Amino acid sequence: MQHSMRRSMQRSMRWATSLLLVVALTACGSEDEEEEENLPEVDCSGTVPTFDEVTAFSEVCTNCHSTSLSGADRHGAPAAINWDDYDTAKANAEHGAEEVFEGEMPPEGSGETLTEAQKEELYLWALCDTPE
């Protein structure tokens, strides 16, 4: 009888483990889908601007996200996110594109705006291999 109970418990544990795995995989899949939905669709087969050609960085983003700014001059921008440094910009490219696409950047009330052309340049650069 003890052998039967042990076998039943082992089956229950395998079933519970399988269920947890399915739930975990489903959750991961929906997160990936959600991320993809938060990014614009771009066509990388055409001309993709280089880092220096993305006017959004030099004309708007670096008013807060610049290596030359600190403290209150950054207007709340995280110190580690700067759009005047290629390596830092590249590391934050997809996240930045997502925030612009969702309307979170530039923040409402900041007085900063991006034109549609600037957004398109940023999206192309960020989502098409971030050319230097």
Q: Per-residue pLDDT tens, the chain, 132 aa: give them.
A: 566 656 665 665 565 444 444 444 444 444 444 445 789 999 999 999 999 999 999 999 999 999 999 999 999 999 999 999 999 999 999 999 999 999 999 999 999 999 999 999 999 999 999 999
- Domain count within the chain: 1
Residue 75 domain-assigned (yes or no): yes
Residue 10 domain-assigned (yes or no): no
Residue 108 domain-assigned (yes or no): yes
Residue 112 domain-assigned (yes or no): yes
Residue 86 domain-assigned (yes or no): yes
Residue 18 domain-assigned (yes or no): no
**What integer pLDDT is reported at residue 31 of this predicted model?**
47
32 phi, psi to nearest 5 deg: -65, -45
Residue 43 domain-assigned (yes or no): no
Residue 84 domain-assigned (yes or no): yes
**What integer pLDDT is reported at residue 19 of this predicted model?**
43
**What integer pLDDT is reported at residue 24 of this predicted model?**
46
DSSP secondary structure string, the chain?
Answer: -HHHHHHHHHHHHHHHHHHHHHHHHHHHHHHHHHHHHTS----TTS----GGG-HHHHHTGGGTS-TT--GGGGTT--TT--SSSHHHHHHTHHHHHHHHHTT-SSPTTSS----HHHHHHHHHHHHTT---
Query: CA 57, CA 105: separation in Å to the nearest integer?
Result: 12
